[in-house]
Structure formats: C-alpha cells, structure tokens
Amino acid sequence: MLNEINWPHDYLPGTTDNFASNEVIVKGIMAKDVFENLIDTSIWPTYYDRRTFPKGVSAS
C-alpha cells in the first residue's frame, strides 16, 4: 500500500527519524468521513486497542 502514496522526497518511509504505517485503502469513502473518526479521540478505543497519544494529549 505504501507504493500508492506519493510521498514528498524528505518524508519517504524509512528515511525519517520516526515512521509508522497503519493504513488501509478503501474505495468509495469520503475524506470527511474518515477525519470525523480520526479527530474524535474518545472513540479510538472502539477500533484500535493499542493506540497511544502524543505527550500532552489524551482522549477527551
């Protein structure tokens, strides 16, 4: 799936200090539908039980 992404040269996977990949490519879904789930951290535990938050950020 990584070959489906047009990475900026300075951010190619494996060339940055910190890289993680956990993606799924899905046809027929709108970006707004995805972002609604990504920005609501309180629902993260319902679909990904090994999530972590950046320092200073917690589920609301």
How is residue 32 written in tokens? 């707004």
For residue 53, tell me if it sits in a domain: no
Contacts 24+ apart (CB under 8 A), 5-8: none
How is residue 26 written in tokens? 């899905």
The pLDDT score that the predictor gives to residue 42 is: 84
Number of domains in the chain: 1
pLDDT tens series, the chain, 60 aa: 556 778 888 878 778 777 666 677 788 988 888 888 888 888 877 776 666 666 777 665
pTM: 0.35
Domain of residue 9 covers 2-46
For residue 7, tell me if it sits in a domain: yes
For residue 32, tell me if it sits in a domain: yes
The pLDDT score that the predictor gives to residue 19 is: 65
